[in-house]
């Protein structure tokens, strides 16, 4: 099939499912999952076809010799906005960077354009695959819920938005679908809206996202003013004098071929940091990570789909897509410590590394299985940003590879947690459940595979991707001079320590849930058995790639080769010093040792008697409290942001109600008052009326006589 048709069909099928369910969901009732599952499966098939198509095109262009940087194919559906002479940049703007000479008006044109390039196709395949499995799982998990059609409607809308997000070729449309996935996250996290905690969590997710989106929007504004266009790709417009003018897209072939066309300096750094702010909001990095643990109030399939595999990876996708912008900003430091420059990429890496270790530390003490997995997601996303922040080609591809493997094993872990929750009647607190391995064998052993992958033990998939990340950071630490080298070295050790912590908390959760004394809470009732087939089938299907896919792509470098053809990553200044990652044995041994130590410690503490846990907790009591309280970030935000705003809102409410409304009511009462004065004149007495007439006549005659002229 043609690439254009495939590009349209992949988001169109979930959109059709959404519209069908929006109108006929209630009529479909418990059959609502059929349009969704079929649509997602169709999208997945078309994504794979698109992948094969693109691969074929790549092979052909390789044999024919490359005419363009990387491979991209854009397909314009229609023009959404077209405003002529929308903006005239100042004449002092860098003329090289803007598409046209400064001081000439730019046209604001937004085309609905879909693109097919390796990065997009990669994301599409992953998103549609996980979506299909989660939809099948949900048909079992949400069975009997009164909001069953509504759930699938929202999920269909979400997958439509996510596929469009990775397919569009324009910053504004990216922002539109960025917000759309945020909206779906709100709708789905607050799915059981009658539960106050869920409604509040939905609002928190959306509002914290919005804080990030504010930065992202300003970044987009800066891109518009700097580059004069918001498209990724090059376009051609008919200029006023009849000629055809080339408008170079921000990430288009023209700019990628000529590095001078990228703005450098403060503007570039500002753009990158603002884009990173948006990514922090969406991908739950510090300081905007607070929404993700609370978002576990939503149904578990939602957590698996949105908060493990797809929505939170939108930030990583965006930063990877904007690699040329980050490369252009690397020449200018954001600030200098002493005489050492700190570039935007170093900041990205630092945010990623810090978030990884912060979330890892918090996850060690949490009692709620889903919260452990949520903090684990935040931590792994930190790894991805750490990789993207290295600024080297291998680092960026390692980050995307980790995104890929993480999607599989994290979705597996979340679906497993959902299976446990379903069997335990909604209880997911690890203090109340235990020893479930005989009760739920399939769930237990697929969860085990997921845990091994997350911990990063050889030869499961997490090992390969995490080692590639750590290898890239290590290489960057060795090749950078001076301060930057130290910066990355510190981040390397942060990554190592976090890997150990990851292994520890993952297996702590596993042993507490599935080993030990069998403990079933009373809410389980008759649910306490292995989950039905719609739920266990995706678990088994996901266990296969969670175990094997890392090894396969880690050894064949398939993903690396494929993604290297993305225009943004084929960019010449991306550090391609090492084309293929070497398998560093030292690194592998160190990481395996740390991971094994983490698993051993978890086993020691949680597999046998658990007295040592109490002793440890008492010993490190302040640290334990700090970790269990999530570093008190939520109370700090409450005190710094929420409470002042709430006070301000109350003041405004008071002013509105007692000052402005009083004023309006006063004005409204005036006619009544005047009327009552007038009314008292109507007393029904004829002679009073006659008297009034006389008095009026008197006044009139007096005025006539006395008024001169």
Partner 1 sequence: MNEAALLQNSLLVGAALFCIGLVGFLSRRNMIVMFLCAEMMLQGVSVSLVAWGRWHNNWDGQVLVIFILTVAACEAALALALFLMMFQRRENLDIAAWDDLREANLPAYVDHELPAVAEPAPHWPHLTLSGLEPKVDEEEVTHRSHV
What is the DSSP pairing of strand 244-247 with strand 335-337? unpaired
Cβ 14 vs Cβ 37: under 8 Å: no
Q: Is 529 helix (H, G, I), strand (E, B) or coil?
A: coil
In whole angstroms, how close is the CB of 187 to partner 1 at the nearest point? 56
In whole angstroms, how close is the CB of 698 to partner 1 at the nearest point? 11
For 458, which DSSP code?
T
* Preceding omega of 64 cis (within 30 degrees of 0): no
Q: What does the alpha-carbon distance between residue 562 and residue 397 come to, in Å, rounded to a whole number?
A: 10
Host H or E run for residue 111: strand 106-116
In the complex with partner 1, which residue's Cβ is closer, 610 or 679?
A: 679
542: Cβ–Cβ under 8 A, 6 or more apart, which residues?
Answer: 133, 408, 409, 411, 412, 415, 446, 450
In whole angstroms, how close is the CB of 682 to partner 1 at the nearest point? 5
Q: What does the alpha-carbon distance between residue 382 and residue 356 come to, in Å, rounded to a whole number?
A: 5
In whole angstroms, how close is the CB of 678 to partner 1 at the nearest point? 10
In the complex with partner 1, which residue's Cβ is closer, 609 or 680?
A: 680
In the complex with partner 1, which residue's Cβ is closer, 651 or 692?
A: 692
In whole angstroms, how close is the CB of 683 to partner 1 at the nearest point? 5
Q: Which of 40, 278, 2 is nearest to 159 (CA)?
A: 40
In the complex with partner 1, which residue's Cβ is closer, 339 or 680?
A: 680
For 347, half-sphere exposure in the C-beta direction (CA atoms, 13 angstrom radius) is 24
In whole angstroms, how close is the CB of 694 to partner 1 at the nearest point? 7
In whole angstroms, how close is the CB of 701 to partner 1 at the nearest point? 13
In the complex with partner 1, which residue's Cβ is closer, 544 or 695?
A: 695
In the complex with partner 1, which residue's Cβ is closer, 648 or 691?
A: 691
In whole angstroms, how close is the CB of 697 to partner 1 at the nearest point? 11
In whole angstroms, how close is the CB of 681 to partner 1 at the nearest point? 9
Q: Give me the residues that bind partner 1 (CB under 8 A), please.
A: 679-680, 682-687, 690-691, 694
In the complex with partner 1, which residue's Cβ is closer, 597 or 692?
A: 692
In the complex with partner 1, which residue's Cβ is closer, 625 or 695?
A: 695
Q: What does the alpha-carbon distance between residue 138 and residue 531 come to, in Å, rounded to a whole number?
A: 12
Give the per-residue SS3 of 49-77.
HHHHHHHHHHHHHHHHCCCCCCCCEEEEE
> C-alpha 32: how far from its chain's center?
27
In the complex with partner 1, which residue's Cβ is closer, 552 or 689?
A: 689
In whole angstroms, how close is the CB of 685 to partner 1 at the nearest point? 6
Dig out the tokens for 32 from the structure. 């609502």
In the complex with partner 1, which residue's Cβ is closer, 146 or 684?
A: 684
In whole angstroms, how close is the CB of 673 to partner 1 at the nearest point? 14
Cβ 134 vs Cβ 151: under 8 Å: no
The CA–CA distances, whole Å, from 226 to 113, 123, 229, 267, 672 equal: 22, 29, 8, 8, 60
Q: Which of 159, 185, 162, 148 is nearest to 33 (CA)?
A: 148
In the complex with partner 1, which residue's Cβ is closer, 27 or 698?
A: 698
Q: What does the alpha-carbon distance between residue 59 and residue 20 come to, in Å, rounded to a whole number?
A: 39
The CA–CA distances, whole Å, from 232 to 165, 213, 244 equal: 13, 19, 19
Q: Is 631 helix (H, G, I), strand (E, B) or coil?
A: helix
Burial of 160 (0-12, 13-18, 19+ CB in 10 A): buried
In whole angstroms, how close is the CB of 692 to partner 1 at the nearest point? 10
In the complex with partner 1, which residue's Cβ is closer, 244 or 686?
A: 686
Q: What is the DSSP string of 569-590?
A: TS-TTSB-S-SS----HHHHHH
Instruction: Find residue 600's DSSP bridge partners.
Output: none
CB neighbours (10 Å) of residue 631?
Answer: 14
In the complex with partner 1, which residue's Cβ is closer, 92 or 682?
A: 682
Host H or E run for residue 83: strand 73-87
In the complex with partner 1, which residue's Cβ is closer, 243 or 687?
A: 687
In whole angstroms, how close is the CB of 638 to partner 1 at the nearest point? 55
In whole angstroms, how close is the CB of 202 to partner 1 at the nearest point? 55
Q: What does the alpha-carbon distance between residue 113 and residue 168 come to, in Å, rounded to a whole number?
A: 6
For 143, which DSSP code?
T
In the complex with partner 1, which residue's Cβ is closer, 236 or 683?
A: 683
Cβ 208 vs Cβ 291: under 8 Å: yes
In whole angstroms, how close is the CB of 695 to partner 1 at the nearest point? 11
Host H or E run for residue 84: strand 73-87
In the complex with partner 1, which residue's Cβ is closer, 668 or 684?
A: 684
The CA–CA distances, whole Å, from 428 to 78, 164, 300, 448, 543 equal: 48, 34, 11, 17, 22
In whole angstroms, how close is the CB of 689 to partner 1 at the nearest point? 9
> Helix, strand, coil: what percent of the chain each, to 5?
70, 5, 25
């Amino acid at each position: 099939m043609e690439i254009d048709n495939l590009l349209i069909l992949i988001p169109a099928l979930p959109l059709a499912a959404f519209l069908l369910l929006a109108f006929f969901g209630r009529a479909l009732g418990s059959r609502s999952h059929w349009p969704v599952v079929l649509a997602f499966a169709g999208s997945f098939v078309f994504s794979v076809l698109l992948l094969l198509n693109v691969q074929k095109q790549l092979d052909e262009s390789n044999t024919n010799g490359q005419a363009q940087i990387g491979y991209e194919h854009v397909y314009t559906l229609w023009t959404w906005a077209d405003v002529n002479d929308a903006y005239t940049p100042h004449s002092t703007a860098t003329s090289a960077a803007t598409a046209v000479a400064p001081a000439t008006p730019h046209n604001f044109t937004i085309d609905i354009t879909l693109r097919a390039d390796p990065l997009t196709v990669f994301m599409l395949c992953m998103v549609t695959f996980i979506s299909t499995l989660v939809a099948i799982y949900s048909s079992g998990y949400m069975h009997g819920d009164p909001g069953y059609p509504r759930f699938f409607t929202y999920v269909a809308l979400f997958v439509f938005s996510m596929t469009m997000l990775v397919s569009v070729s324009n910053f504004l449309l990216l922002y539109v679908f960025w917000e759309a996935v945020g909206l779906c996250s709100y709708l789905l996290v607050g799915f059981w809206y009658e539960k106050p905690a869920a409604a509040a969590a939905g609002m928190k997710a959306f509002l914290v996202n919005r804080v990030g989106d504010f930065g992202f929007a300003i970044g987009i504004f800066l891109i518009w003013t700097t580059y004069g266009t918001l498209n990724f790709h090059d376009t051609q417009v008919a200029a006023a004098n009849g000629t055809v003018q080339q408008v170079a897209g921000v990430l288009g072939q023209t700019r990628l071929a000529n590095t001078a066309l990228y703005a450098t300096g403060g503007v570039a750094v500002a753009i990158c940091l603002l884009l990173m702010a948006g990514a922090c909001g969406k991908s739950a990095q510090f300081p905007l990570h607070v929404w993700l643990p609370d978002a576990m109030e939503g149904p578990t399939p939602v957590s698996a789909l949105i908060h493990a595999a797809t929505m939170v990876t939108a930030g990583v996708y965006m930063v990877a897509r904007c690699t040329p912008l980050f490369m252009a900003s690397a020449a200018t430091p954001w600030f200098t410590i002493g005489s050492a420059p700190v570039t935007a990429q170093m900041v990205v890496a630092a945010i990623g590394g810090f978030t990884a270790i912060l979330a890892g530390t918090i996850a060690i003490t949490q009692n709620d299985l889903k919260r452990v997995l949520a903090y684990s997601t935040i931590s792994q996303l930190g790894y991805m940003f750490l990789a993207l922040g290295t600024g080297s080609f291998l680092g960026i591809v390692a980050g995307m590879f980790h995104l890929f493997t993480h999607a599989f094993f994290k979705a597996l872990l979340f679906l497993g947690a959902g299976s446990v929750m379903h069997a335990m009647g909604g209880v997911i607190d690890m203090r109340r459940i235990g020893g479930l391995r005989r009760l739920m064998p399939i769930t237990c052993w697929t969860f085990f595979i997921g845990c091994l992958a997350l911990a990063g033990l050889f030869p499961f998939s997490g090992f390969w991707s995490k080692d590639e990340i750590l290898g890239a950071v290590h290489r960057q630490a060795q090749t950078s001079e001076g301060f930057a080298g130290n910066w990355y070295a510190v981040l390397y050790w942060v990554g190592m320590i976090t890997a150990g912590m990851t292994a520890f908390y993952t297996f702590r959760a596993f042993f507490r849930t599935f080993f030990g004394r069998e403990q079933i809470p009373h809410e389980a009732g008759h649910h306490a058995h292995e989950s039905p087939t719609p739920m266990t089938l995706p678990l088994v299907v996901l266990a296969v790639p969670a175990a094997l896919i890392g090894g396969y792509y880690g050894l064949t470098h398939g993903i690396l080769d494929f993604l290297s053809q993305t225009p943004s990553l084929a960019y010449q200044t991306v550090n391609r010093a090492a084309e293929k990652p070497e398998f560093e044995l030292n690194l592998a041994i160190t990481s395996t040792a740390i991971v094994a130590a983490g698993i051993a410690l978890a086993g020691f503490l949680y597999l046998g008697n658990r007295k040592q846990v109490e002793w440890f907790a008492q010993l490190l009591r302040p640290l334990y409290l700090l970790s269990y309280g999530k570093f008190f970030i939520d109370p700090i935000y409450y005190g710094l942001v929420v409470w002042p705003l709430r006070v301000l809102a109350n003041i405004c409410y008071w002013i509105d109600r007692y000052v402005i409304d009083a004023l309006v009511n006063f004005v409204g009462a005036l006619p009544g008052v005047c009327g009552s004065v007038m009314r008292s004149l109507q007393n029904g007495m004829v002679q009073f009326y006659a008297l009034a007439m006389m008095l009026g006549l008197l006044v009139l005659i007096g005025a006539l006589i006395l008024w001169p002229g």
